Amino acid sequence: MKKRKQDDTGPDAHLGTGGELHQHAHAEHPPLTTQQGIPISDNQNSLRAHPRGPTLLEDFVLREKITHFDHERIPERIVHARGSAAHGFFELTDSLSDVTTAKVLTEVGVQTPVFTRFSTVAGGAGSVDTPRDVRGFAVKLYTKEGNWDLVGNNVPVFFIQDAMKFPDVVHSVKMEPDRGFPQSASAHDTFWDFISLTPESMHTVMWIMSDRTIPRSLRMIEGFGVHSFRLLNAAGESTFVKFHWRPRLGMQSTVWDEAVKLAGADPDFHRRDLFDTLDAGGVAEWDFAVQLFTQEEADGFPFDHLDPTKLIPEELVPLRVIGRMVLDRWPDNFFAETEQVAFCPANLVPGIDFSNDPLLQGRLFSYLDTQLSRLGSPNFTQIPVNAPKCPFAHHQRDGHMQTEQPKGRVNYEPSSLAPDSPRADPNAGFKSAAVDEGGVRGRVRAESFADHYSQARQFFISQTEIEQSHIASALVFELSKVEHVHVQQTIVGHLRVIDERLGQRVADGLGMDKLPPAAHPAKPVQKLPPSAALSLIGNAKDTLEGRCIGILMADGSDGAVISALKKAAQAQGARVKLVAPRVGGVTLADGKHQAADGQLAGTPSVVFDAVALVLSEDAGRKLCREAAAVDFVRDAFGHLKAIATDAGAQALLQAAGIEPDAGVVRADDVKAFLKAATTRQWVREPKVRTLA
């Protein structure tokens, strides 16, 4: 057999009918086998009842692969290890009684307790809060009919179409096994090598490289259930549904340089932000919305809704807001609750059911399996944060860490010895949708899953010019860390299919002499229209609510100006922190002492949404010799934040090399400053950094 050239792994490699990448066999490659030595014929697809059917339990290859993956780390989660969580409630405002029997979705006004955990995906428990990464968004609803776990992310799509590939994508993005780094980062060879050979990932790559994955706050991210689910009504009729969480504060991101510096200034920035908000009596709040559609409507979509690398544009199926979630209480003990909480997408209540999404089908097995490893016992449901808050009864006894003391001699069903022992309820119990799953089983991916570029293109063209530049720059940054040139070239080939100019921009940013050939799509790229809902900047709210303003002061500062700024900002819902050269505070111009909330070197401007400089002329001159003060101003300007200044701060502006623009206003013009502080100064960006 002719030895394969390195370029065969690139964009001209052969794509199968399902879009999966088939590499030509290497003579020196041993056959892939199970742990029992059984050769594997297909490592890309789970065994399904038919191409769009459910995954079969008999798939021992999938079960072995997932089981081993789930047990690779203890006790830390393999993914989503770094998390923060809070208690609160869900309240339904619009009943879905016509399409579901689930009480949590039909009983308006009832407040259902929830526990919600946010997380990064790639990093370990000791990593930082602000890397470029997907954020997990997992909600446990303690309903009257049992626990419902809606386990999603802050992006609506995923890297892979089949759970068979989940260990591979996670292995690729985690620390490289021979060197143990990088931690909590995708900018390295193994990740981009996998992506280059997996064109189905390109849509999610667009989301990852966008501002969505460097959020300003966990309170300002969207949540998506990712998969299609089913709702079942009293007649047994099925309606498909996708679940969405929309932040009441609107979405907001950081800029990349800011995210990097936040990692050093405060590795716990997102966790601290959520804690401080709740500790001060505030809340984090989301609207809960659904997209409802029938099988007939789905048949007319220009994509397959069972494909987890696809979303349903809101222009095609509008969102219907049906409720709200309010988080208002920090956990009493971080380990007992945030660390020990166990989510599983298999936890549904009557009236909700699964779809045949092949990634979801694998998750139904994987999550329970990994909890058995992490928490050490099938009795992990007895941990208070995991226990239902409704009445429950079962025949499961004994096992490691059993803390309950069941009474009686009956631990089976049916039984005639105990008239009060629990039995299945054919009326109120969980029912599955009656769906005909006839077909030819096999390891094959549906043809309808083969379009890997159309929605990636749609996402990119839906972004503002600023956001498109951020995506291109993120790709240049990530790929610049990749040592293997052929991997860079293959990715650029994929990008050219998404948008020719994007591919050119990234190639230019990497210094490529020649544009690599474009990839060959398995299916023609559809010219899907832009979707306004996909832009973060286009949907951001110009508001101070939930934001934080920093005021830099020193001895001799004008207390009246500080007071006016603080009072006005707080009136608009912002938190205000006073920063001083010394943690003990300062003596104001009127001789009064003013305590400080933070010391200058330890409270840089990256932790604020806008800053004010209220300084005497003498203090301004002195601070010009303090690098932390110059960086405080320079970074605020470079991160596109509004800056309020007085006469004493002018020397500091000059030391930082800042030429004032519309976002730099007088400190005594409180109204103008607060208006500028509600948003980033995007027009400033071309003046402060070069983007791809």
pLDDT of residue 129: 97
Mean pLDDT of 213-225: 98
Helix (H) or strand (E) holding 487: helix 485-498
Break the chain down into helix, strand, coil percent, rounded to 5.
35, 15, 50
Q: Helix 189-196 vs helix 166-173: angle between axes, to the nearest 10 degrees?
A: 140
Model confidence pLDDT, tens digit, residues 107-155: 999 999 999 999 999 999 999 999 999 999 999 999 999 999 999 999 9
Residue 652 neighbours by CB distance under 10 Å = 25
Model confidence pLDDT, tens digit, residues 269-300: 999 999 999 999 999 999 999 999 999 999 99
Which runs of consecutive H residues, i.e. helices, occur in 118-180? 166-173
Confidence category of residue 687, pLDDT binned at 50, 70, 90? very high
Tell me the two tokens of residue 603: 């409270």
Specify the DSSP class assigned to residue 474. H
Tell me the two tokens of residue 562: 């500080």
- β-bridge pairing 548-553 and 575-580: parallel
- What Cα–Cα distance (Å) separates residue 283 from each residue in 31, 62, 118, 504? 55, 42, 15, 44
43 is catalytic: no
Please check the confidence at residue 398 and state whether its pLDDT lies above 60.
yes
More confident residue, 20 or 89: 89
- What Cα–Cα distance (Å) separates residue 97 from each residue in 111, 291, 462, 524? 17, 15, 35, 41
CATH number for the region 543-688 comes to: 3.40.50.880
Distance CA 125, CA 335 (A): 12
pLDDT of residue 21: 43
Q: How far apart are the first and last CA of the chain?
A: 42
pLDDT of residue 16: 35
Specify the DSSP class assigned to residue 443. S
pLDDT of residue 420: 85
Q: What backbone phi and psi angles, to 5 degrees, belong to 291?
A: -110, 115
Specify the DSSP class assigned to residue 343. -
Specify the DSSP class assigned to residue 466. H
Question: What's the pTM value of the predicted model, to 2 decimals?
Answer: 0.90
pLDDT of residue 74: 57
Model confidence pLDDT, tens digit, residues 143-177: 999 999 999 999 999 999 999 999 999 999 999 99
Distance CA 53, CA 352 (A): 18
- β-bridge pairing 548-553 and 610-614: parallel
Specify the DSSP class assigned to residue 575. E
- Domain extent listing, the chain: 82-362, 449-538, 543-688
Q: Which of 359, 522, 356, 498 is closest to 447 using CA atoms? A: 522
Distance CA 79, CA 343 (A): 13
Rg (CA), the chain: 27
pLDDT of residue 27: 54
Distance CA 88, CA 79 (A): 24
Residue 434 neighbours by CB distance under 10 Å = 9
Mean pLDDT of 207-227: 98
Mean pLDDT of 527-539: 96
Identity at 306, one-letter amino acid code: L
Model confidence pLDDT, tens digit, residues 468-485: 999 999 999 999 999 999
pLDDT of residue 73: 67
Mean pLDDT of 441-446: 93
Q: If you search the block for the tokens 């070069």, which residue do you land on? A: 690
Q: Which of 656, 569, 581 is closest to 618 using CA atoms? A: 581
* CA 51 to chain CA mean position, Å: 29
Q: Which of 142, 140, 146 is closest to 118 using CA atoms? A: 140
pLDDT of residue 13: 36
Are 614 and 551 within 8 A, CB to CB? Answer: yes
Which residues make Cβ contacts (< 8 Å) with residue 203, sequence separation at least 6? 157, 309, 310, 452, 453, 455, 456, 459
Are 353 and 238 within 8 A, CB to CB? Answer: yes
Least confident of 421-435, 567-581, 617-631: 421-435
Residue 40 neighbours by CB distance under 10 Å = 13
Least confident of 434-438, 534-538, 564-568, 678-682: 434-438
Q: Helix 485-498 vs helix 189-196: angle between axes, to the nearest 10 degrees?
A: 50
Tell me the two tokens of residue 289: 């919305």
Are 666 and 646 within 8 A, CB to CB? Answer: yes
Please check the confidence at residue 319 and state whether its pLDDT lies above 50.
yes
Specify the DSSP class assigned to residue 458. H
153 is catalytic: yes
Helix (H) or strand (E) holding 251: none
Distance CA 53, CA 56 (A): 9
Exactly one of 45, 87, 147, 153 is catalytic; name it. Answer: 153
Exactly one of 80, 244, 305, 470 is catalytic; name it. Answer: 80
Q: Which of 686, 687, 648, 691 is closest to 667 using CA atoms? A: 648
- What Cα–Cα distance (Å) separates residue 146 from each residue in 141, 386, 432, 646? 8, 11, 16, 59
> Which DSSP string do the residues of 22-80 spell out, in sequence order?
PPPPPTTPPPPB-TT-PBPS-SS---BSSTTSPBPTT-HHHHHHHHHHHTSSSSS-SSS
Give percent of the chain above pLDDT 90: 82
CATH number for the region 82-362 comes to: 2.40.180.10
Give percent of the chain above pLDDT 70: 96
Please check the confidence at residue 311 and state whether its pLDDT lies above 60.
yes
Distance CA 625, CA 646 (A): 19
Helix (H) or strand (E) holding 649: none
449-538, superfamily in CATH?
Catalase, four-helical domain (1.20.1370.20)
pLDDT of residue 377: 87
Do the domains at 449-538 and 543-688 have one common CATH topology?
no
Q: Helix 485-498 vs helix 465-480: angle between axes, to the nearest 10 degrees?
A: 160
